[in-house]
């Protein structure tokens, strides 16, 4: 059992002890009842089984660096396209075109990584790095990803339930979907990823942003191409084009 968990159990037991004492031996029954309530709550609800921040960010980063190095070695230069499951594809993939311009999205298949779909359609198809985080958020919800509201629900879980970011917003403007993510505890991680894995945010995105992009793609059901990416202070901005 971790120290933090033991601490919370001891705190809960102390509150219960104080509560029982106040109820039995004093006239402050409400205070005793309150302490008992807090004690039970601390014992039952608080669940501090977690990893240290530095370890968590290192784990997240360990996913990004190899992907960045792989894409750099392959000289893949395009901006990523999130592709929702379809007839050929069972799971969402991120397609990164080899060239800077994508003429048309090639047919993607689950078992295919290097995609040679003809001129202007060459690239790599990868499992989005945010898939495990997205799956975790989805498993905690009873929602269907049939519209953008479903995406908002999953993003709410990612932000407030899993603490991946402080807040988010999605809006439509000039035929583009604008996704804004405001970082909280992972802002330093975000800055470090941008510095050490330059350009990855526009290609596959880091696991955190990738999980938000996955939610959006799966809710719409159409491929989403990253058009612009910008980081301004704690805010991360994605301009996305829905490809029909």
Q: Produce one character per residue of 213-241: b if its CB has 16 or more CB atoms within 10 Å, e if not.
A: bbbbbbbbeebbbbeebeeeebebebbbb
Structure tokens belonging to residue 200 = 């990855």
Residue among 99, 79, 129 at smallest CA distance from 230: 79
Q: Contact region for another protein (CB under 8 A) — 37-45, 82-90, 95-103, 168-176?
A: 37-45
Q: Contact region for another protein (CB under 8 A) — 25-33, 104-112, 118-126, 174-182?
A: 25-33
Question: Considering only residues 18, 20, 56, 141, which one is a binding residue for another protein as defined by CB under 8 A?
Answer: 141
CB nearer another protein, residue 8 or residue 72: 8
Question: Considering only residues 90, 103, 160, 196, which one is a binding residue for another protein as defined by CB under 8 A?
Answer: 160
134 vs 92: CA distance, rounded Å: 11
**Residue 239, strand partner residues:** 178, 228
Residue among 126, 115, 114, 104 at smallest CA distance from 204: 126
CB nearer another protein, residue 39 or residue 123: 39
Q: Is 134:215 a contact under the CB 8 Å cutoff?
A: yes
- Decide: is 163 part of the binding site for another protein (CB under 8 A): yes
Question: Considering only residues 29, 65, 90, 103, which one is a binding residue for another protein as defined by CB under 8 A?
Answer: 29
- Decide: is 34 part of the binding site for another protein (CB under 8 A): yes
Helix (H) or strand (E) holding 229: strand 224-232
- Decide: is 38 part of the binding site for another protein (CB under 8 A): yes
Shortest CB 21 distance to another protein, Å: 15
Shortest CB 45 distance to another protein, Å: 5
Instruction: Report 45-64 residues binding another protein (CB under 8 A).
Output: 45-48, 50
Residue among 84, 51, 67, 53 at smallest CA distance from 206: 67
- Residues near another protein (CB under 8 A) are 27-31, 33-34, 37-38, 40-42, 44-48, 50, 140-141, 153, 156-157, 160-161, 163
């Amino acid at each position: 059992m971790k120290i933090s968990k033991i601490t919370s159990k001891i705190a809960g037991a102390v509150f219960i002890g104080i509560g029982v004492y106040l109820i039995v031996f004093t006239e402050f029954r409400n205070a005793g009842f309150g302490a008992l309530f807090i004690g039970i709550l601390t014992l039952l609800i608080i669940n501090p089984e977690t990893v240290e921040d530095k370890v968590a960010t290192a784990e997240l980063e360990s996913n990004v660096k190899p992907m960045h190095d792989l894409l750099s070695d392959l000289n893949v230069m395009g901006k990523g396209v999130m592709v929702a499951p379809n007839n050929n594809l069972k799971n969402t993939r991120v397609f990164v075109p080899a060239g800077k311009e994508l003429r048309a999205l090639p047919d993607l298949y689950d078992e295919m990584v290097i995609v040679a779909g003809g001129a202007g359609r060459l690239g790599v198809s990868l499992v989005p790095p945010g898939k495990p985080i997205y799956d975790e958020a989805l498993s905690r919800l009873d929602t269907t990803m049939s519209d953008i509201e479903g995406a908002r629900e999953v993003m709410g879980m990612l932000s407030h339930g899993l603490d991946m970011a402080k807040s988010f917003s999605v809006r439509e403007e000039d035929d583009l979907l604008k996704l804004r993510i405001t970082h909280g505890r992972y802002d330093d991680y975000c800055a470090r990823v941008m510095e050490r894995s330059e350009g990855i945010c526009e290609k596959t995105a880091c696991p955190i942003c990738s999980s938000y992009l996955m939610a959006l793609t799966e809710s719409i059901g159409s491929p989403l191409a990253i058009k612009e990416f910008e980081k301004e202070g704690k805010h991360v901005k994605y301009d996305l084009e829905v490809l029909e």
